[in-house]
Structure 1
Amino acid sequence: MNASLFDPDYADAVLRASPSFDERRDGKAADILLLHYTGLRDGASAEDWLCDPQSSVSCHYIVHEDGRVVQMVAEAARAWHAGVSVWQGETDINSHSIGIEIVNGGHDHGMPDFPEKQIDAVIALARDIVGRNAIAPARVLAHSDVAPGRKADPGEKFPWARFAAAGIGHWVEPAPLGGGRYLTMGEAGQPVEALQSMLALYGYGIEVNGVFNGATATVVTAFQRHFRPQRVDGVADVSTIDTLHRLLAALPQFRKGQNSAAG
Structure 2
Amino acid sequence: MSSVAANISFRRKIVYAVLQLTFFAREMALSCIFPLVIFCSLALTEVIPLPFIARYDWLLLIFLITQWWMVKAGIETIDELKVICLFHIIGLLLEVFKVYMGSWFYPETGLFKIADVPLYSGFMYASVASFLCQAWRRLDIKMINWPHPSLVVPLAIMIYLNFFTHHFLYDLRWMLLLCVILIFLRTSVSFKVRSAAYQMPLILSFIFTGFFIWIAENIATFFNAWQYPNQQEGWEIVHVGKVSSWILLVIVSFLIVASLKRIKSAQQT
Same fold (TM over 0.5): no
Provide the TM-score with structure 1 as the length reference.
0.32
TM-score, normalised via structure 2 length: 0.31
Structure 1 or 2: larger helix share? 2
Over alpha carbons, which structure has the higher Rg?
2
Higher normalized contact order (CA 8 Å, seq sep 6+, divided by chain length): 2
